[in-house]
Structure 1
Amino acid sequence: MNNRRSLVLAAILFIGAIAAGYWGLVLTRQQPVAEVPVTQMVEQKVAAVEDTTRQPVVVLARDVPPHVALTAEDLTLEKLQTAPVGSLTSIDQAVGLTPWRALAAGTWLSKQSFEVGGPLARMIRPDERALAVAIDEVTGAGGQLTPGDYVDILLFLREDTANPQQSAQIVLPAVRVLSVGDELGLTNDGQLASPPLNAEEALKQAQRRATARTAVLAVPEPLINQLMLATQAGTLRLAVRSAEEKRLSKYWAGQQESPSNIENAKRSLYRFNQLAMASPVRAPVAGNPVAQRERGIEIIRGSQNTQRPAQ
């Protein structure tokens, strides 16, 4: 009797075990895979780590007109892995500021965005003027001219009635190059005059610089007229000065030597017909028979030079 009860009990337990296993298997298949929330947690942790390494930058959310104060609706905050130099990092820093020119959406803001004057105006001193001159591969130092270089401006005069002998002179020494083509140098405070470029844009700009047709120079204001006369009198060339001459920035702006340098440059090329160290041919004076006498014929035999009257 006891054996029969034991067999019945064992059979019941066996059936219960099978039912429990089957039910557990069904529940396991109905539950979502546990890997999904784990993956999401990992992604969230990675995003949190990356967020701490990025820096906030104030960017325009829409186009803004000039001379209108910015509001919080005009601005948005983006986090960049590398923030541009001098960029604003808080929306409160930009609210209420007035840009002097129209700015497009997506422009990152800095203090220069609200300064009066364009890039060239921020690259010259109060006693300088920015003047563009025409260049090519020869006159522009073989296409190797770079903003920030210092150059001597050379003038070549061909022989003509005003200049009996061809000549070459230095018009202005130690003049700073502000831009070559569309490539700008640094402003007076050492900041980039134009937004930074990526590697591809920088390569394209270097290619355009090699074929540029204009260069903008920082010319002392007292000598601007002299350079304008030189550009019309003959052919200009730019000779690059050595980078080891570290005092060139004080050549025209120094307190001691610059006044004498300006006076020397003024005396240098004030009258272009004196460059050849010869006087121009003068017209005959009316009523003066000596002056009206025709020039003779110059005869050269070896080392002898004789003058023969004209027939």
Structure 2
Amino acid sequence: MNSRVTLGLAGLFLFGAIITGYWGLTLSRQPAPEPVAQSTIGAALANAQSPVEDPTRHPVVVLVNDVAPFAPITAADIALEQLRTVPAGSLTSLDQAIGRTPWRALTAGSWLNDESFEAGSKLSRMIRPDERALAVAVDEVVNIGGQLTPGDYVDVLLFLRMDTLNPQPTAQLVVPALRVLGVGEQLGLTNDGQPSSPARNADEKLKLDQSRATARTVLLAVPEKLVSRLMLATQAGVLRLAVRSADEKRLARYWAGDSNSAASLANANRELLQFSQLAMTGPAKPVATSPGVAPRKPSVEIIRGNEITQQTP
């Protein structure tokens, strides 16, 4: 009985082995998938993942690392970014920047142009050829309570105390409508529209705001022909800065290329008043004489030899 069961199981296993072998042989003879179909699918996926080039965007060379002065720019320091609006004069090819040496420190994130490789400090690139940058000492009152901001326009007022040369205290407008270049360590925009002292994070911005509020100097853009007048005013008396309204659009006209140096000079000369006029003093009064005493008539002294006579004309 046991031998019959054993023979039956052996036959069953043999039959299963034959079925399994036949199935494996059949599967191995199936044709492999054509590689052309796979390559077609891969190309379709690649086309779907690659972005379509936007014709409205243009390449601009942008720094990805800070570059120290007099250090040649390498390929690792720059990259091309596609921008819709291309800054005027910006470089559009990496070859235009690689190997060039800047004269000043360049910060990461700024776009490059030919002015990036020209000599000159940030302050010298904030004024035009017919302007001069002049620093004026200020305190909390002169600094308008720390509210002055680069880009504001101010009138410079002069106050003279009474002394031997100035019998009456006087005040007058010395130079009108001067552009504020910087307050303390905070500077405005350069002539290429870039910030001179950009804040990289909130902490640096807070530090700049604090230095502006406690500044002891203010940088002014002064027309060349008015520099000597402002210099004399700083030594003659006490200065005050009066902020002009932003509704005058002076800063917008400046960035549009309007130059009002000649008009500022003419207005300053026209509005400059004499100290006696500002003191509102009248004409000199005649010397009072004692009552009953006739005023002395003028006489001429005539000398004839040893004789001296007085004659009244």
Taking structure 2 as the reference length, the TM-score comes to 0.60
User: Contact conserved, 1:59 with 1:109, CA < 8 A, in 2?
Assistant: no
CA separation in 1, counterparts of 2:220 and 2:14? 103
Aligned to 1:131: 134
**Aligned twin of 2:34:** none
**Equivalent pair of 1:58/1:90 in contact (CA under 8 Å):** no
Aligned pair count? 239
Are 1:58 and 2:77 an aligned pair? Answer: no
Could you say if the C-alpha distance between residues 189 and 7 of structure 1 is closer, same or farther in structure 2, counting changes exceeding 3 Å?
closer
What is the Cα deviation at residue 276 of structure 1?
3.5
Instruction: Report SS of the residue matched to 1:218.
Output: strand
Question: Is 1:264 aligned to residue 267 of structure 2?
Answer: no
Counterpart check, 1:227 vs 2:227: no
Over the matched positions of the two proteins, sequence identity in percent amounts to 53
Partner of 1:217: 220
Measured in 1, the distance between the counterparts of 2:226 and 2:203 equals 39
Partner AA of 1:226 in structure 2: R
Conserved 8 A contact 1:147-1:178: yes
Distance 1:195 1:140 in 2: 22
Supply the distance in 1 between the matched residues of 2:234 and 2:223 (Cα, whole angstroms).
16
Residue 242 (structure 1) shift: 0.6
Amino acid at match of 2:129: P
TM-score (norm 1): 0.61
Q: Structure 1 residue 115 and structure 2 residue 121: aligned?
A: no
- Contact 1:162 1:273 (8 Å CA) reproduced: no
What amino acid sits opposite 2:70 in the alignment? P
Letter in 2 for 1:93: Q
- The aligned counterpart of 1:174 is 177
Which residue in the other structure is 2:200 paired with? 197
Residue 165 (1) aligns with residue 168 (2): yes
Larger Rg: 2
Alpha-carbon deviations, 1:3-27, whole Å to 9, x = none? 441134568999xxxxxxxxxxxxx
Deviations 1:239-278 (A, max 9, x none): 111100114757x93388445225326x547xx6875456
The offset of 1:186, in angstroms, is: 1.3
Aligned: 1:76 with 2:77: yes
- Aligned-residue offset at 1:63: 4.9
In structure 2, the CA distance between the partners of 1:115 and 1:276, relative to structure 1 (3 Å rule), is: farther
Distance apart, 1:230 and its partner CA: 0.6
Supply the distance in 2 between the matched residues of 1:104 and 1:186 (Cα, whole angstroms): 15
Counterpart of 1:254?
260
- Point out where structure 1 has 5 or more consecutive residues left out of the alignment: 15-47, 50-54, 280-289, 291-311
Amino acid of the structure 1 residue aligned with 2:216:
R
CA contact (8 A) 1:154 1:238 kept: yes
**Distance between the aligned counterparts of 1:3 and 1:172, measured in 2?**
123
Shift of 1:217: 0.2
In 1, Cα distance between equivalents of 2:200 and 2:211 = 14
Aligned counterparts of 1:106 and 1:189: Cα–Cα separation in 2 = 17
